[in-house]
Structure 1
Amino acid sequence: MKIAHIITGLNNGGAEAVLYRLCTNDISVTHTVISLMGMGKYGPLLQETGVEVHCLNMPAGRITFSGLYSLYKLLKKSKPNAVQTWMYHADLIGGVIARLAGVKNIFWNIRHSVLEKGKSKRNTILIAKFCSWISPFIPKQIICCANKALAVHAKNGYQRNKMVVIANGYELDKFTPNSQLALDTRNELLLNENVVLLGMVGRYDPLKDHTNLLAALSQLKHQFDFKCLLVGKDLSTTNNELISEIEKQGLQSHIVLLEQRNDIPAIMNALDLHILSSSSEAFPNVIAEAMACGTPCVSTDVGDAALIVGEAGWVVPAQDSRQLASAITQALTLKQDSLKWLELQNQARNRILEHFSIETMINKYHDVWNS
């Protein structure tokens, strides 16, 4: 089977990471990836594993005739058994062009769970709405990464009987408990192995709600001695808005800013507790990645976070720093009982093993493509 994937871009993001894992772990299918924009982070990584990658080099937010024609020619020449699109722009452009190129098996992929003014870009909402109008005609099936994403898009007019949920899958040989990796990472960061280490992996973005996290941590600074790693794009000392909020909450001695990292399994192993303070998510990868490394999580109740965490952590309402602080307090109090904490660590790891392996995800994609 030949699958052509069409994605908006290949920069660092959740959808891009899932596409990379799918293509590089599924050796029973020939995968080709077409980016509407450039190579980004994942283009070269895909090529290194032998996956064919094409870039249409369309500017962000703009559609070019040359790009559309190049896509049409690629699909006519390669004659894939199916086209799998990723994210709204690719669903629309890739879906329509694939249909014009004679491809019958077209599958969309929805990666968001919010379509609201103020939380989503106006252009994104408009394209999603247009996709909902043509959803009865273009895709054979519509894959959603989370139950919340399915519910939101069905409510917004997407063809409900075509929609199916496939949760993200993870490479559990990479995201696995590793005490030596944890120690090495702490040594690199000049952090004592006994210091209580909290962390949140996720770019600086209003939807990640770092303000909520900092407000919660401020309530704990006199009760616990801790450090908190903030990892992701724009989480650096050059972010004046973030620095101002850290100073406002009096957390200068507690926060460590790390910007983007390529060693997330190492970061997750180094943490005692991972926190997600978002006001909106679909299927938050970082929770599953932390739990796969045996790191318990506290998360806001966004997207499918509660489904991922299950009974192996804490889930609290979004945008409520008091409840977030309370859950962190419960976690750090439990950590003082080493046997109960070890039990929770094992429970977190086992939940991901049972429900969110890369093999499970690949098999579900195959079921859809062969439908």
Structure 2
Amino acid sequence: MRVLHIITGLSDGGAEAVLYRLITHDAQDIHQVVSLTGEGKYGPLLRAAGVSVTTLNMPRGRVTFVGLKRLWQVVRQSRADVVQTWMYHADLLGGLVGRLAGVPVVWGIHNTTLEPGHSRRATIWVARACARLSRWVPRRIVVCAQAAVGVHGALGYETSRMIFIPNGYDLSRFQPDSSARERLRREWGVPDDMPVIGMVARFDPYKDHANLIEALAWLARQGVRFQVVLVGTGMTSENIELTRRIEAAGLTDRVRLLGVRQDVPAIMAALDVHVLSSSAEAFPNVLAEAMACGTPCVSTDVGDAAQIVGDTGWLVPPRNAQALAEAVQSALTAWHDRPAWWARQQACRERIAQQFELQRMIEQYQTVWASAVGGVERRC
């Protein structure tokens, strides 16, 4: 089957990572990608994997006549059996163009939060427009989080077309790695008896690094020993807002800002505890990636975090630094019981292997595409 993917952009985000994993591990279908904006992080990686990538270079949040015309041309020339769109703007533009071109369309929803004051007004407007079109444009709507069904149903989306497909993970890439742990801790100058807390996330209001820093400051005041590594876009000393918060919290000597890294699996394996402080998520990939590496997690209870973590870690309400700090303290206390901690690490990886394996996700997408092309109403 020929699948044309239309995505808002190819930057360092969760939906973009899932698209990359799906395409590069699907040996059965032929894939082509269109980015409404630029090539970001994943454009070069997809091209290196032999995937055709077209960038329309439209300014983010704006539609241009040239970009829309090029999108129409690519859809018509692709001879695709199905158009798979990713994220609201691509759902709207890619969905309309695919529908008008006579190609079956499958939308992709990778968000669960649409709140005035937190979400961009343009994003909310586009989501509402999609809700009105959801009975006409897509034959199927893939949601990556169970929580997204209720949120979008309340907005007016046609829930009968929604199919839940949880994200899948390459367990051969994300796995425990004792040699990486030893190497990176030497690189960071951290002794083996010092617990390392980490968070892999770009600098974004929804990731709520302020919440994390406040929680870490409380732990430091209690005399808890720990070191922290922060990884992702914006996690550098050039980020003045972030560095000022870290300095004001008295954490400069405890926090390492590593920026964007290509060795995320190794970093996950080197951590003792992964923390996610987000105020909103859909299906937070970093939790599953850390757990696949045998790293227990402390997370805010956002999106499908509870479904990922299960009973292997700790969940707290979002925007509650005190609760987050106390949960991290509980995790670090548990870390000192080595036999019990090892069992917890094993349970983390086993949970991801059983529920979120990559090939299972690929097969579910293939089933959705086949049913969209055939027009048969069925669920995965």
Normalising by the smaller structure, the TM-score range is over 0.9
Aligned to 2:164: 165
Written as runs of structure 1 = structure 2, the 5 A alignment for 1:89-104 is 89-103=89-103
Report percent identity of matched pairs. 51
Aligned to 2:328: 328
TM-score between the two structures when normalised by the length of structure 1: 0.97
Tell me the CA shift for residue 92 of structure 1. 0.5
Tell me the CA shift for residue 194 of structure 1. 2.7
Contact 2:176/2:294 (<8 A) preserved:
yes
The amino acid that maps onto 2:179 is Q
Aligned to 1:142: 141
- Distance in 2 of aligned mates of 1:83 and 1:196: 46
- Distance in 2 of aligned mates of 1:140 and 1:183: 50
Unaligned runs of 5+ in 2: 372-380
- Distance in 1 of aligned mates of 2:92 and 2:205: 26
Aligned to 2:117: 118
Aligned to 2:130: 131
The amino acid that maps onto 2:182 is L
The SS at the match of 2:31 is strand
1:52-108 deviations in whole A, cap 9, x for unaligned? 1112222222212222222222222222111000011110000111111121x2000
Contact 2:175/2:292 (<8 A) preserved:
yes
- Distance in 2 of aligned mates of 1:298 and 1:324: 8
Determine if the alignment matches structure 1 residue 317 to structure 2 residue 317.
yes
Unaligned runs of 5+ in 1: none
- Distance in 1 of aligned mates of 2:34 and 2:252: 44
- Distance in 2 of aligned mates of 1:43 and 1:79: 21
Written as runs of structure 1 = structure 2, the 5 A alignment for 1:96-245 is 96-103=96-103, 105-221=104-220, 222-245=222-245
The SS at the match of 1:370 is helix
Tell me the CA shift for residue 118 of structure 1. 1.4
- Distance in 1 of aligned mates of 2:332 and 2:260: 26
The SS at the match of 2:85 is strand
1:173-197 deviations in whole A, cap 9, x for unaligned? 0000010011111122222233210
Contact 2:306/2:315 (<8 A) preserved:
yes
Tell me the CA shift for residue 326 of structure 1. 1.4
Contact 1:219/1:325 (<8 A) preserved:
yes
- Distance in 1 of aligned mates of 2:360 and 2:223: 42
Aligned to 2:300: 300
- Distance in 2 of aligned mates of 1:79 and 1:165: 27
The SS at the match of 2:219 is coil
- Distance in 2 of aligned mates of 1:118 and 1:230: 27
Contact 2:12/2:233 (<8 A) preserved:
no
Contact 1:107/1:142 (<8 A) preserved:
yes
Runs of 4+ in structure 1 off by over 4 angstroms are none
The amino acid that maps onto 1:74 is V
- Distance in 2 of aligned mates of 1:236 and 1:14: 20
- Distance in 2 of aligned mates of 1:324 and 1:235: 20
* Greater Cα offset, 247-256 or 177-186: 247-256
- Distance in 1 of aligned mates of 2:44 and 2:248: 41
Aligned to 1:268: 268
Contact 1:76/1:102 (<8 A) preserved:
no
The SS at the match of 1:32 is strand
- Distance in 1 of aligned mates of 2:223 and 2:317: 22
- Distance in 2 of aligned mates of 1:269 and 1:125: 37
Aligned to 2:53: 53
The SS at the match of 1:158 is coil
Contact 1:282/1:302 (<8 A) preserved:
yes
Please report the RMSD computed on the Cα atoms of aligned residues, expressed in angstroms: 1.1
